[in-house]
Amino acid sequence: MKRDNLATNARKLRKNSTDAERKLWRHIRSKQIAGAKFRRQQPIGDYIVDFVCFEAKVVVELDGGQHTQADNRAKDSQRDKYFQDNGYTVLRFWNNDVLKNMEGVKEVLLKEIEAGVKPKY
């Protein structure tokens, strides 16, 4: 997909966020977790990720029920491999986890951010 199209699609996705995406964004925006800056619906390569912290190289994907289908799982694996090959840790959470267990999600995010952020001297 061309870069212009990715940017346009990312803007559309930001305007049409799911309930889970809106809830997670409220908890991670403005450097609320370990001072890490997150971006939402961010193009990386040929993909648009739900959330990313470039400093810690952490990608966060929120998955609904459609991700249980075999063809979508295969696409997710391909995406994950691309990000991992480029040095990112990929965290996948079910929408239901975000909606019902935000503290658990934040705990996992905090551990990964702290592990991934390099100290600045």
First-to-last C-alpha distance (Å) of the chain:
38
Please name the fold of domain 3-116: Endonuclease; Chain A (3.40.960)
Q: Tell me the C-alpha distance between 86 and 93, whole Å.
A: 21
Across the range 23-49, mean pLDDT stands at 96
pTM of this structure? 0.86
| pLDDT value, residue 68 | 57
- Detail the DSSP E strand segments found in the chain: 39-44, 47-53, 58-63, 89-94
The domains of the chain are located at: 3-116
More confident residue, 104 or 76: 104
User: CB of 42 within 8 A of CB of 49?
Assistant: yes
